[in-house]
Structure 1
């Protein structure tokens, strides 16, 4: 069973973003578990952007950081990798919206935060990701009435506590999976939406207790464009980021 939903910002999902989607913003906090926001006592700011292939899978990750002590932007693939592999660092990183990053940057003495085109010029050390062809798990079964069926996985580092998990389920109006109340259950819920002639279904899935989560998105495409897929992947990933998970990669299985 699934729920047909309209997400907040539905027009963003149905219509593609502009020439470039917005950057991802994070605050690096002095202590683990601290909340973000314009008045957060942050040590610094990190900006990131996935490099995407034409089919919306990730082939690389660009990033840059800034701290008041340095007073300049730096780029480090090793730092981005550490945000995903080092639990101590990950617990100090919190996703924020650009307006919060602007307030923190100004308060820490940086002045006006540069526009996103300028910030992208600070990307100098790309973290490469696997750009192999989709892993086909058998012959793709395309439902009648659709031209293509795709399966994506967005992998996230970190864990969801019960409150954040419940909030995501509520926002997405997820139908609970069997045993979803069990903390060891793998599928925490399923949701579905229609966008024009496309039908998109996603599962929120636990990958090992306390280590990682993923979103598995199945896109049945009936229209001539796949723009809806990219926009929805972006929207879902942003919501997971603001639930204190950090996206690792976007893969395609079919």
Structure 2
């Protein structure tokens, strides 16, 4: 697992965050990928869920878009992303988000843990996650913007089952253990709204929550606790909930 951080250099004034949509950022990625290899761009775009990456934009303190951070689960996704963004950096060709143009100032790659390292973490009974971009979970025709443990850890569980080596796969019964044994003991969450897309002057908004949440597991099952810690660490790469490849559900773990 790896992080790639892409820093922007604005050309016509700083990039105003209020004019950025998540679909615009999603489209930017695939435009950059196509410049290097249309076939691999199509492969990643059509990749079945869960995809091997998540994304989150980062902003200056006064609300201007400064860049993007990608978390890559597989080496194949890392290779595709890194080559494309490095190519964009060297080309110095202006990129666009709406009417705002910029070039790539810097691309940095940071190595993270592998699945075996996560699988061997020490079991603990407490965990704190910071939800840094709007997070919500599909529920029927809508979304639930609340950090229920069974929802929070389901997406990292799905990513683990898809990408971890077969010998490290988790028994499906773990999700039942999580729902029965993991509880929220403290939080300072608040509602956050982000624009997915603009259509005919109207915004398509995504409503989620952000903020710190403390979870506690009331169990003496060391193996289940070890898995829980592993999935908490994985969440920092996989994201949590819905639309993680478009910037939602980004978390950090204390």
| TM-score for both structures, normalised by structure 1 | 0.37
Going by fraction, where is strand more abundant, 1 or 2? 2
Query: Which of the two has greater helix per residue?
Result: 2
Which structure exhibits the higher relative contact order, with contacts defined as CA atoms closer than 8 Å and separated by 6 or more residues?
Answer: 2
TM-score by length of 2: 0.37
